[in-house]
Structure formats: C-alpha cells, structure tokens
Amino acid sequence: MSGYDDSPTTCHLQEILQWHFSPETGSPFWLKRRDSLGFDPLRDVEDFADLRKFPDVSDELRTVPVDLLVPAGSADSPFEVYESGGTLGAPKRVVEHRSRQEGVDWVETVLPAFGDGGHWLHIGPTGPHIVGRSVRRLAQLRRAKFFTVDFDPRWVKLLIRTDRRPLADEYVQHVLDQVETIVESQDIRVLFVTPPVLEALCAREKLYRRLADRVTGIIWSGTSISSTSLRLLKTEFFPQAEVRGIYGNSLMGIAPQRSPEPGDTHPCVFRTFQPRSVVEVVDPDTGERVAPGERGRVLVHLLTKDLFLPNVMERDTAVRIASGLPRDGDDLADVQPFRPASGAQVIEGVY
C-alpha cells in the first residue's frame, strides 16, 4: 500500500513528484536539489499539505538557465519561454510545452458565450508575457478572428516609478490610437483589456461610442479593479456586454471568474485549474491559512509536468473563498496588490 489517499489532487501530486524527481524524467533544476531538501520528496510528501516542506524557489527563476528547468522526460518537446511582469524586480522565467494550453482549453469551457460572431481584440502585452498567447488560443477556440494591440507594461511601470506619469498617460493614448484604427473598420465584439486601459478607453468619447453598443463581451485582467469601477462598467458603460475577470500570471496560470453561486457576497470569485494550479490564502506572517472570508496573501502551487513550483508566495492578497467542493485549494475574491509593511512601493501600472 502506498499510504496515500486517492483524492484527485493527491493522485495528481504523486504523479508530478514522480515525474520531476525521477532521474529518467526529472528536470536538472529539481534533481540537483533533491539531496539538499532535508526530506525525500518521493517518500515524505504524502499529500497536498506536505508541499509546505518545499522552499519557495521562485526567485531563482530570475537567473537560472532555462535548460535546467526542462524535464528530461519531455526533452524532445518544443518548449517555449515566458516571463513574469517584473513588478517586484527582475522578471522570472518559466518554461512551457502543453500545460498552459490545457489550462486555456479549460477556461474556454468556463467563460460565457459572449454573443455570436465578431472578432476579439487583445489590448495588452504579448512578447515575453504568456497572456497574449493564451488570449489568442481562447479566440481560436471560439472561432473568432484575433486582433492585438501590444504594449510594454514594464515601460509604463518605469515611467510611473521615475515620476513621469504624464508620459505614461501619453503612452496609453498611443495604445488607444491603435485601438481606434482597428475598430473603425473591423467588427470587434470581445475585448480582452486591463482595467486602467479600459478606464482610459471609456474616457475617450469617440472610441467609447464606437464600442459601447457593439461589444458583447469584456474580459478584464492584469490589474485589480474596485467594486465601484466594476459596477459602473457593467451598469453604465457596457450594460449589454457580458463582463468577466481572469486572475493569473506566468507562474500560476489563469484563474477565470466562476459563475455566481448561492451565498456569494463578492462580485467576482476566481477559481484555478485544479489540481494543476492550487492556491491557498495565508497569513503573511505565520503562513497559516486564513479563515474563509478573511484576507491573506496568495500562495501558489504549480503542479504540472512542464514545471513544478510549490510554495510560491505571490505579489497579491485576496479574500479566501471556500470552494464548497472536495478540493484542497481556495477560490479567491477581491484580489489586490500586497502592501509590504516596509512601505515599499508596488506599482501595478497598466498590467
């Protein structure tokens, strides 16, 4: 007998551990650390709670050669490299073959229909950020033509950090100039956009009027949004559109807003693609899970064959929502940037 329970999360966890810590299939990154962990991941990690034994190695993703992250078992597969936004320092790099595509395919089954026909417009970063590829995949699954207006969120963060806010605002208008050129001639019905850019779009009268009666779906992501702004978006600016949020990043994958459930008190509740991506909401000082309804720091466990990243403390806080299902992870609501006690500045910018 293995001694493990047979829950889906535990079975998946054991499969991932065997993959990443077996010499035949594991990545050099984890195999090198196996003897220095102080425990045997194949013997001493029996369930989800034991993931806390692992160190948070995410800071090493800023500098580790990406070849060391690729599992030997998939060495012949075409891996791609993506980066985090770099909000709290140099970007972190991840490798990806199929896991994120599987996550996007699941998200497509969760999102509403957004009406029939029309094209999608992604107003956001592509380049080293994985979100551009993910939105393209979503549009393809809906058989929609995919347009994109790229922008560099790191440049905007730098402008804000160096007290050049007017230049950041000018850059956003440059982005909207490109959006306007597209919507003048194309049948755009679904927008994937960040809240700050969407707010600027609504303030640009001509562009807003072109889209207000046409758009049937809005997916917001990339930064937080206040409940007041979300309500105005739904009731005043785009009352005919289905508005949904997606939370996530390059390290954890994407967590779409789930459908409302009885007892919900928050307008948006996000759910990850479990058991591949499991989040907990924890007290930032003790690391203990907070009670349902309380705010805490977001702790991520990425459990895929492409990449194993346990115990990653995210930049964000959220309200813990009990999933109500036999899951080991939490649902999330009211996601906001973590404000460190040191008073260090956290800049969301436009993504």
For residue 29, the model assigns a pLDDT of 97
The residue ranking higher by pLDDT, 323 or 273, is 273
User: Over 80: is that where the pLDDT of 175 sits?
Assistant: yes
At residue 101, φ and ψ (nearest 5 deg) are: -60, -40
Tokens coding 311: 């115990």
> Is 323:329 a contact under the CB 8 Å cutoff?
yes
Q: How far is CA 291 from the centre of its chain?
A: 23
Strand partners, 299: 280, 313
How confident is the model over 24-37, as a mean pLDDT? 96
User: Over 50: is that where the pLDDT of 1 sits?
Assistant: no
Q: What share of the chain is helix, strand, coil (3-state, %, to 5)?
A: 35, 25, 45
> Is 184:157 a contact under the CB 8 Å cutoff?
no
- Half-sphere CA count of 202, side-chain side, radius 13 A: 17
Q: Is the dihedral of CA 271, 316, 17, 9 positive or negative?
A: negative
Residue 2: pLDDT band with limits 50, 70, 90: very low
> Is 62:230 a contact under the CB 8 Å cutoff?
no
User: Over 70: is that where the pLDDT of 345 sits?
Assistant: no
Q: What percent of the chain has pLDDT over 70?
A: 94
DSSP secondary structure, 129-151, as one string: -THHHHHHHHHHHTT--EEEE--
- pTM for the structure as a whole: 0.92
Tokens coding 280: 């907990």
The DSSP element (H or E) to which 240 belongs, if any, is none
Tokens coding 272: 């990850």
For residue 341, the model assigns a pLDDT of 63
Q: What is the largest CA-CA distance in the chain?
A: 68
